[in-house]
A and B are shown apart, each in its own frame.
Chain A
Amino acid sequence: MSQAILEKVEKTALKENPPQFDIGDTVDVHLRILEGNKERIQVFSGTVIGRSGSGSKEMFIVRRIVAGEGVERKFPVHSPRIEKVEVKRSAVVRRAKLYFLRQRVGKAVRLKERRRS
């Protein structure tokens, strides 16, 4: 009963068309950034290394290498501040969390590309 009520409330917070992507995808996350009173779009691109949570609490982690340093950002899937998530490239991965990429540097970070038919 109480679970049903929660789901009903959460449904109002969900996006109608949540962004579609898989673990290991290289994505461009388009963020709405408010500067003063002007809005602009900032793009964060990297590899999706994990998804967590469910419903309105669902988050995903994007990792990229900036100037030789690993940078990770965690985004809410259903946030209205996320304009869109563009999939640039998909990869063959065998696990749900790609935390092993954190130990890797240089060429070893690359994932094998998955060709979609």
Chain B
Amino acid sequence: MTQIYLEDGTVAPVTVVQAGPCNVLQIRSMERDGYEAVQLGFEDKPRRLASRAERGQVAKLDSKRAKAQAAAGVELVEKADCEPQRFIKEFRGASDLAVGNQVTVDVFEGVTRVDVTGTSKGRGFAGVMKRHNFSGQRASHGVKKVHRHAGGTGCSASPSRVFKGRRMAGQYGNVQVTTRNLELVKAIAEDNLLLIRGSVPGPNGGLISIRQTNKVG
């Protein structure tokens, strides 16, 4: 995160997001796939690191099978004809994009609020204080070795069990998180950067997906 000054002189804390250019790799259609979606690829990957499947996804590869299919008159699916992509993600919904198009931050023109989805930072097996904001127990006054514990988890002989859903220690983070209704402060077209007010889920350098918010009002 960094901060920039707005026109009225106030300062805005912003997260800088490299949002594209994304290549349109495939268009999912109702007839062929049973649903509508756009498959986007982000960031080029060196060809030596890409598998043959990854290379074949973005460009037509020469193979015996391709030749045989061409000879038999089978029409192969369209390819974007770009470098292998590091990240590939599908976005549901119909659009007027075509395979081989590039998606840039221009699609966010006129958009002021966005939803950001990412994988949150993994905190491993975390205790209740970190995971659920429990208060823990006192530092003194007879508290012994349970300063960060949860206290009681339920009743006694009746019901003789802990109710389901009791918040306890466990894996925290490293799950998909969506932060909704974040303000889009600025889009920088020449570098395909988006400046989003505040923080977004995940670590620095993590992959996130951004869409116009679906929050009303």
Contacts and interface: CB of A to CB of B under 8 A. Distances in A.
Interface of A: 2, 5-6, 8-10, 12-13, 32, 55-57, 76, 78-81
Interface residues of B, number: 15
A79 B3 contact: no
Interface stretch (B81-89, B147-155, B188-196): B188-196
Given A76-B11, A79-B11, A9 B5 contact: no
Contact of A78 (B5, B191, B204): B5
A57 B3 CA distance: 7
A9 B4 contact: yes
Interface string B1-23: 01111000101001010100000
B5 A80 contact: yes
A13 B186 CA distance: 12
Given A9-B195, A13-B2, 11 more contacts: A6-B2, A8-B191, A9-B16, A9-B188, A9-B193, A10-B4, A55-B2, A56-B4, A79-B5, A80-B5, A80-B9
Nearest to A57: B3
Given A9-B4, A56-B5, A79-B11, A2 B205 contact: yes
A13 B3 contact: yes
B13 to A, nearest CB: 10
Contacts of B9: 32, 79-81
Given A2-B205, A76-B11, A81-B9, A12 B4 contact: yes
Nearest to A5: B16
Contacts of B18: 2, 5
- Of all A-B residue pairs in the complex, the 5 with the closest CB atoms, nearest first, are A81-B9, A13-B4, A80-B9, A9-B16, A13-B5
A114 to B, nearest CB: 32
Nearest to A78: B5
Contacts of A9: 2, 4, 14, 16, 188, 193, 195
A63 B205 CA distance: 39
Nearest to A76: B11
